[in-house]
Structure 1
Amino acid sequence: MIVTLIIACEVGFWLLLAAGLALRYLAKMRRTSVAVLLCEPLLEVVLLVVTAVDLKNGAQPDWKHGLAAVYLGFSAGMGHYLVTRADAWVAYRFAGGPKPAKAPRGGSARTAYEWKMAGRFTVAALLAIALLQAAIWYVGGDGGTDSLRMWQQRMLLVIGINVIIALSYTLFPKKADQARSRPSLLDRLLKPPSERAGSHTDKDRTLTKG
């Protein structure tokens, strides 16, 4: 049940995000879109309550409860960033907004970017560790908490990997002029029609007549 609820929360997150952005940029219903987007945290609240009730009813803590805590931690730590990035891309594609900045290709800007990403993952992992520790205290000494502590160790590993990646860009920075400029798949899919290869503006068609 816990795993099914986690999947439902993830699907619900993206459905609510898509609905909220469609209401904002396609239907021009800004207030309604805000109301829809504000429903997203309710999904995490439901998962938290269900997990707590399951443990309260005597369920033995296992990997599913740990996964729920990790999901909640990363939803809280990364959710705002994902929503902001999705909003920027949809505004660019459908509302004439500025093109969202991509990850810098090199230099000090790329180093700063990697440290920011490491910071986001660290915050998410620390939130997950805190939730896991709360679950350990909630269960008490009589319950088996090995699986929850295993998830805590994995979160420490996530932090370590991201710090190492950021540190590698600090110690061995790549020069911006040596990095290849290649548009991402997301960039190609969300690029406005007027900027796509092979598209022509009215001025182009005028010049090509005759």
Structure 2
Amino acid sequence: MKIAEFVAENPIVAVIVGCEIALWVVLFLGLAVRYLLRLRRTSSVILALIPLIDVVLLVAVAIDMSRGAELGWVHIAAAYYLGVSVAFGPALVRYVDVRFAHRFAGGPPPQPKPRYGAAKHRALWQEWYRVVAAAAIASAVSLALIVFFADPRAQEMLWWSIGRAWFIVGLWFVFGPMVKPKPESASPTVPVRR
């Protein structure tokens, strides 16, 4: 099957790809306006468009389903994408913002990710909370699809996808905040030359 045929049969795939491209275009445009053109208010307006990209995806899924599309893995992928985008989006914007400001506007260098001790443990918990939020949003979208659009076979697939999202949350917990990071005293020290 050619890509064009695949996208024609699954238009939500094109919407997901378009939303991802739009995210990066809007993000870099907003930061360029802020740091290169020094138009902070205009930049804030541009960056405020980022959540609207998620709304476009949600509306596209609803329209696709209301037109009688057969619920499939692309709709589940859209639910996951929406969850990850909403939960991790603000952290992504902050991450890119600090680096853009440092590179183009003389801002302070980005702080490295903590590798040891309590700071590392806090970072692992914050990341896990984002994963929980992503799973909750994906589950809410999937539940809406179950209630409004899914036939019995599709309902089974959606319930399975919800279970898989929470299984990932559990794994992330086991391999994330549950693992006790090395104490700060274990961090490598740079020898002092005399």
Q: Under a length normalisation based on structure 1, what TM-score does the superposition of the two structures give? A: 0.78
Please name the residue that 2:49 is paired with.
Answer: 39
- Go from structure 1 to structure 2 and tell me whether the alpha carbon gap of 1:56 and 1:142 turns closer, same or farther (over 3 Å shift): farther
Aligned-pair Cα RMSD in Å: 1.8
Q: Specify the alignment match of 2:4 in structure 1.
A: none
- Answering whether residue 162 of structure 2 is matched by residue 176 of structure 1, we say no
> In structure 2, how many angstroms separate the alpha carbons of the residues matched to 1:131 and 1:66?
9
Percent pairwise identity: 37
Residue 70 of structure 2 aligns with an amino acid whose one-letter code is Q
> Which of 112, 122, 127 is the aligned partner of 1:117?
127
Q: Are residues 1:138 and 2:148 paired? A: yes
SS in 1 for 2:179: helix
Q: Which runs of 5+ in 2 are unaligned?
A: 1-10, 190-194
Match 1:69 to one of 57, 75, 79? 79
8 Å contact from structure 1 (residues 107, 174) kept in 2 = yes
Q: Which moved more, 1:146-155 or 1:121-130?
A: 146-155
Which stretch of structure 1 is more off in the superposition, 53-62 or 136-145? 136-145
Between the aligned partners of 2:188 and 2:113, the Cα distance in structure 1 is 12
Query: When the two structures are superposed, what TM-score results if normalisation uses the length of structure 2?
Result: 0.84
The alignment status of 1:101 with 2:111, answered yes or no, reads yes
Which deviates further from its counterpart, 111-120 or 149-158?
149-158
Specify the alignment match of 1:18 in structure 2: 28
Shift of 1:69: 1.0
Is residue 2:92 matched to residue 1:82? yes
Could you tell me how far apart the structure 2 residues matched to 1:167 and 1:77 are? Answer: 18
Stretches of structure 1 that go unaligned for 5 or more consecutive residues are 182-210
How far is the alpha carbon of 1:121 from its aligned partner? 1.1
Cα displacement (A) at 1:131: 1.0
Are the equivalent residues in 1 in contact too, given 2:128–2:177 (CA < 8 A)? no
Query: Per the alignment, in what secondary structure is the counterpart of residue 27 of structure 1?
Result: coil
